[in-house]
Amino acid sequence: MIDMFIPPEYEVVRNTELCIGCRVCERQCANEVHKYDKDLGKMIADSTKCVNCHRCVALCPTHALKIVKSDDTYKLNYNWPQRAMNEIYRQAATGGVLLSSMGNPTENPIYFNKILVNASQVTNPPIDPLREPMETTVYLGKKDVEIKRDARGRLKDTLPPQLKLTTPIMFSAMSYGSISYNAHESLARAAEELGIYYNTGEGGLHTDFYKYGKNTIVQVASGRFGVHEQYLMTAAAIEIKMGQGAKPGIGGHLPGMKISDDVSKTRMIPKGVDAISPAPHHDIYSIEDLRQLIYSLKEATAYTKPVIVKVAAVHNVAAIASGIARSGADIIAIDGYRGGTGAAPTRIRDNVGIPIELALAQVDERLRQEGIRDSVSIVVGGSIHSSSDVVKAIALGADACYIATAAVMALGCHLCRSCHAGKCNWGIATQRPDLVKRLNPDIGKQRLVNLVHAWTHEIQEMMGGMGINSIEALRGNRLMLRGVGLNETELRILGIKHAGE
């Protein structure tokens, strides 16, 4: 029996006036959409296979291709939009859980877009970052230590280990396995050149990249993939992943076909078998248990590296963060519900978790109220779109931001949201050697460096406009923010006034 046909959401349109039949589209499409048809003597396209990654559009030398939203439609129904109907059809055909990739694309509010930034006029002058110093360096770690002196009255260095960032941006966790070797190399080299950090994700660290250890944050997640002494010692910091914004409450799932030889060696798991991270850490059922893991890792690395605890933004995030701050963590990373993923159940991705802006404001507020804000740094991620989002996040109380979706976009990602298929035409979310080589790390590194440089310039411009000359002075400075189109509750949670107030 044949499955019921579901019309494609997007259609490939070829301008035959412009197509010269070079077949670049055909050679570059891992989904086999394009084909030179001998019978017709021309190029044809099968839109049903198209994932809309735009690889062919970007590479077509005569710009003969475009991809359009299909105008095929079921009978219009506000209550049953086409997407919801198609999902029913898919599940009726397969009986399976719907899978998606990248961040939550639904139409919920994006609070960053409803927050406006202040600027100086007349009374306190703006600062020109091209003429005057503008400090973007940030140190992440515990800062609440007691000042101690030795017998001769000299200051003892009691400061716990810190991470020094030249700009308040880091590349957040993406595992080797979910993304390619060349993507990891691009991130590692860019982090080194920028003086920031990238994060291995839960897939271990390829031995080729140990040399970038000074700019590497290694992750210890519930699957414990690739965790061993050298892995921990190589890194600048260790991150315990308790949750991920795209899929709070569940573990990870890397399909077996992405477990290549190298991935299997790096993760220390069999080749070709699905890698499943459990939903919980099986040794963590309380803040006390978390504290044990934090101190095990600190003990294993002789207290030389900060430990980050990453959680998804969920309803009780402020209380959870308070617990984490008291458990000995140096840094708390919070991942909002728009955060990306290489694969997540659609229903979880689109319905679980809360917006990062609200979570961040509440965590910062709670830690201040409890007088423990200085005992941890806060890093936030989950769809930081631009430098202005970074500025707003810092003014809401963050120390730095994690970017990953923006980073893979710099590498070529067009958010086709098909990572879980493992056939990424841009060489990012794939392990197929012929596709991986499409991402030349020389180019990838440079594009990441360009992006972060551009954002840093913009952050400096915005800070200068506010008359602020260091990130320190912007952090938690909510008077620099105003909401627009937000209700009383939203403003109260964000801790900001409405525009005009």
Summarize as ranges the residues that interact with another protein (CB under 8 A). 17-24, 27-28, 59, 61-62, 64, 433-434, 437-438, 440, 442-443
Smallest separation, CB 438 to another protein (Å) = 6
Q: Which token pair is 431? A: 């392990």
Smallest separation, CB 55 to another protein (Å) = 10
Smallest separation, CB 425 to another protein (Å) = 11
CB-based contact 237:163 (threshold 8 Å): yes
Residue number, 253 or 438, with CB nearest to another protein: 438
Residue number, 23 or 211, with CB nearest to another protein: 23
Residue number, 421 or 435, with CB nearest to another protein: 435
Residue number, 61 or 133, with CB nearest to another protein: 61
First to last CA, the chain: 65
Measured in degrees and rounded to the nearest 5, phi and psi for residue 497 equal: -90, 165
Residue number, 24 or 499, with CB nearest to another protein: 24
Measured in degrees and rounded to the nearest 5, phi and psi for residue 399 equal: -90, -35
**Total residues found in the chain within this entry:** 501
Smallest separation, CB 58 to another protein (Å) = 8
Smallest separation, CB 171 to another protein (Å) = 22
Residue number, 261 or 442, with CB nearest to another protein: 442
Quote the CA–CA distance of 147 and 155 in Å, as a whole number. Answer: 7
Quote the CA–CA distance of 182 and 442 in Å, as a whole number. Answer: 9
Smallest separation, CB 361 to another protein (Å) = 43
Smallest separation, CB 189 to another protein (Å) = 14
CB-based contact 8:50 (threshold 8 Å): yes
Q: Which token pair is 464? A: 């200068």
CB-based contact 365:495 (threshold 8 Å): yes
Nearest to 112 by CA among 484, 501, 493, 492: 484
Q: What is the DSSP string of 192-217?
A: HHHT--EE-GGG---GGGGGGGGGEE
Residue number, 441 or 464, with CB nearest to another protein: 441
CB-based contact 285:216 (threshold 8 Å): no
